Structure 1
Amino acid sequence: MKTAEIKLTIQLDDNSIPENILWESTDSKNKEALPVQAMMLSLWDKNYQNTLKIDLWTKDMPVDEMKRFFYETLQTMGDTFLRATGEKNIVEDLRDYCAHFADKMEIKKQ
């Protein structure tokens, strides 16, 4: 059995606000920690039938980038849900909502 490790390092200021978020993986070709400005980690707890979450972002992350981060996260959640369940119809509904979200948040298409 193969084992992979993902490491997150959060550097906090004196008020425990994230200044830097670094991540690295033993499976990555890049062997040094990479900086990111935000992260959302969701874990499923089978025993309690609920989600454990850690949402962090650096204090210098611009609001427009946070909006795009949420948009991209919603889009990729749809991809994951489709692969996991094959539920095409509800994913189409999610895509419609993502388009609405992008419009309301004035997120420019790339």
Structure 2
Amino acid sequence: MKSSEIRFKIELDDQNYPDKIFWNASDGASEGLEEAKAITMSIWDHFRKETLRIDLWGKDMPVDEMKRFYIDTIGGLATSLRNATNDEFMASEMEKLCDTLVKHVQAEEEQQKKK
């Protein structure tokens, strides 16, 4: 059986906040660690019937990029949900939420330009 390993390396500042985030996958296209600005990971605990979450972002992650990161994450979850369960209603509702959030972020960007 083939296996793959995903590795994360987090550099912390003196107060233990993430400063830099690096990752690689053993069967990925690039060799060595690549820098990332944020990670969000969800793991289903079958025994507790709950989701364990890890959310990390580096100190230099801009707020506007963080918002787009979460919109992309929700959109990706919608696609995964559709593929895994064939639940068109839930996937479509998540995509509608993404559309609403994109409009919200765009409106915020327009407001910032006016200042």
Q: Report the TM range for the smaller structure's normalisation.
A: over 0.9
Aligned length: 108
Structure 1 unaligned residues grouped into runs of 5+? none
Provide the rounded CA distance (Å) in 2 between the counterparts of 1:17 and 1:79. Answer: 32
Structure 2 unaligned residues grouped into runs of 5+? 110-115
The corresponding residue for 1:83 is 83
Shift of 1:95: 1.0
Shift of 1:32: 1.0
Normalising to structure 1: TM-score of the pair? 0.93
Cα shift readout 1:55-102 (whole Å, capped 9, x = no counterpart): 000011001100110110010010010011001122112111111111
- The one-letter code of the counterpart of 2:6 is I
SS in 2 for 1:105: helix
- The one-letter code of the counterpart of 2:27 is D
What aligned pairs does 1:2-41 form with structure 2 within 5 A after superposition? 2-41=2-41
What aligned pairs does 1:66-105 form with structure 2 within 5 A after superposition? 66-105=66-105
Query: Which structure dedicates a bigger proportion of its chain to helix?
Result: 2
Runs (4+) of structure 1 moved beyond 4 Å? Answer: none
Shift of 1:106: 2.0
Provide the rounded CA distance (Å) in 1 between the counterparts of 2:69 and 2:16. Answer: 22
Shift of 1:21: 0.4
Normalising to structure 2: TM-score of the pair? 0.89
Provide the rounded CA distance (Å) in 1 between the counterparts of 2:95 and 2:7. Answer: 31
SS in 2 for 1:106: helix
